[in-house]
Amino acid sequence: MRVLVTGGAGFIGSAVCRRIARLPGWQVVNLDKLTYAASLASLADIAGAPNYRLVEGDICNRDLLAGLFAEFQPQAVIHLAAETHVDRSIMASDAFVQTNVNGTHALLEAALTHWEQLGDTDRRAFRMIHVSTDEVYGSLGESGLFSEETAYDPRSPYSASKAAADHLASAWHHTYGLPVMISNCSNNYGPFQFPEKLIPTTILNALAGRPIDVYGDGGNVRDWLFVEDHVDALLKMLAGGVPGRTYNIGGHGERTNIVVVERICALLDEMAPRGAPHRNLIRLVADRPGHDRRYAIDATRIATELGWAPRHNFEDGLRATVRWYLDREDWWRPIRELRHSGERLGLKRGAP
């Protein structure tokens, strides 16, 4: 199979590219703008593979997309290119609208043109996955789960831009017949995650002996999904997913932020002791504006229809992730020194 992956130099995208490049008979083209969050080092293992190719470019560039579809003739598209960090969207939303909304629109148009020119057999086989987030559903109370029928209620510029893109993907299926599926996943974690998100930031700040900031009272809940389990789900969707369907992907790993941070500190006390307990570095800071209280995924549909289930529980996945960051300073050190040093983001414009 020939697969076009957008955003394949990012955290999830690089995991998808690494997996596909190892599948016999598969080819993958990675279209990535190589923004601040991209890492070619995450793709070093496959950079020379004959079935992998990187194309640097913007999904908003329609001429580039048209040429790439015409040359590569993909049989599937996995659309991961996006601005994803809520804190950055609070500070500057323009890039989120441009990439997540306008870029998705441009990609849908290019995919539609390509799909309409295929023969009947290839048209029936073609698939596109638009990868989205559980954040489009808003915030849960103390009970309940997000299902595919949950009404959209985005609360941040990031989640609003992803919700808009979801609606475009759905419309291109219902109006034009483009065989698009949407995935809404919970919070991913694992190796190669850019160190601005909670888990890698906590690990690296703790190793440096710097304060570990936890927003608000630390009681915000997320459903944690190991990145390789997410890749499994996306490949299950390619193999058997129904066009026009949405599939929620969750890791059955609900934890409050403070529990996650404290567990990382305990693992570091075990693996990289520093004298005083790492938890002494934790401090509660002013909450993120519009911070959703709780996310949790009902993944029944993808489990029953496609036979997917996460292979990693949170405890094992977190331990493996901490171990990876301890072992791979060569990967994260240049990022911390040149692109993001672990400082707080996400304050409102003009806030101290």
Catalytic sites, residue numbers: 134-135, 158
* Cα–Cα separations (whole angstroms), residue 180 to 11, 212, 245, 297: 22, 41, 8, 21
- CA 185 from centre of chain: 8
Give start and end residues of each alpha helix (H) in 92-218: 94-96, 104-116, 120-125, 157-176, 198-207
CA dist., res. 327 & res. 155, Å (int): 37
The residues, ordered by sequence, that sit 6+ positions from 317 with a Cβ below 8 Å of its Cβ are 189, 190, 224, 226, 251, 253
Q: Hey, what are 68's tokens? A: 């790439």
- 174 neighbors 243 (Cβ within 8 angstroms): no
Q: Hey, what are 50's tokens? A: 């004959």
